[in-house]
Structure 1
């Protein structure tokens, strides 16, 4: 099984693409995804720009905050522990971990006790933070761009790209975020690679398999172990 830790697959951009999807997934299911292309505009694609509700934070806000933290992390020169501490609050604000886990685990998620659910969410958060801190380390030279928000098939989607400052803008990887507005404002509930590859769908089989074999505690242990591996970087 290939891992995001495999440094020699496809160069920096492909490594970054794989690691971005790995940020909320355990398995590198996207090996062989074709090279990224530049995103097309909302008008060219026939999309309708979405308007944020009056008085609410914009859908772009949590992603912009996360990207800023990742930029600061890679420019800080700090060790992975300090980088994790820089990123963690913004990951917590940006992602609706409960919603992502519910969709990934399936119906059994609603049957978990409060303690089981809390432990699983905490492990998932730690995993996500550790993955980001491991990916965006000093010297990564990532360039983050947040562009328009659109409505597609009833979903609010924020379009972004992540590239490398040493490469052309056309080589940047399109990363889109499916956003939902709840009591705590706009939060990410899915990530789309190249505009259509769903992170939640990609990880669902793996999460369900581990959950069926080892339960919520087993899935939490797996996520924690993976986070520990990343934090040794």
Structure 2
């Protein structure tokens, strides 16, 4: 597979620690990285008891010349600050930039954690309710088609509205056509009577002219 990295090794070799370090830089809460609070991650061994923060970073190089670095600093008071290429930045802005290069922190499809493979394999083909996730929804998230769901629903509602309006207009046209057909016979009769009356009037005028 292209663009796939796997962290493998025997039990106790530190695989989960590597993943936890990535998740930390990506802004995950302490509970998601097997920790009670962020501050306990600060190194506090003998001789380092007074350290006030820790700052790991994640450096990415997609193609030559496109390298960027994300850092997260954790403080004793359990607060965090983030930088992007050395510039302080809100986490939401960093998440947006990461999403542009395929690291989606919202749906987390770029990183499969230990134990999630079995969960994926056990997924239902399709979610039974709107709040559930099935294999279809999972794949839609991966390929990005799920973001089109709301626009498609809006267009579908607009189509239904236009369809209802079209049906109403067609009904009016049919009613008008029916009234036209019903009036066609009487109108022809009236036109015929008018022609006869006009013919009689014309003949009378000619007769009067002859008598004069």
Structure number with higher relative contact order (C-alpha < 8 Å, ≥ 6 residues apart): 1
TM-score, structure 1 normalization: 0.22
Question: Greater strand share, 1 or 2?
Answer: 1
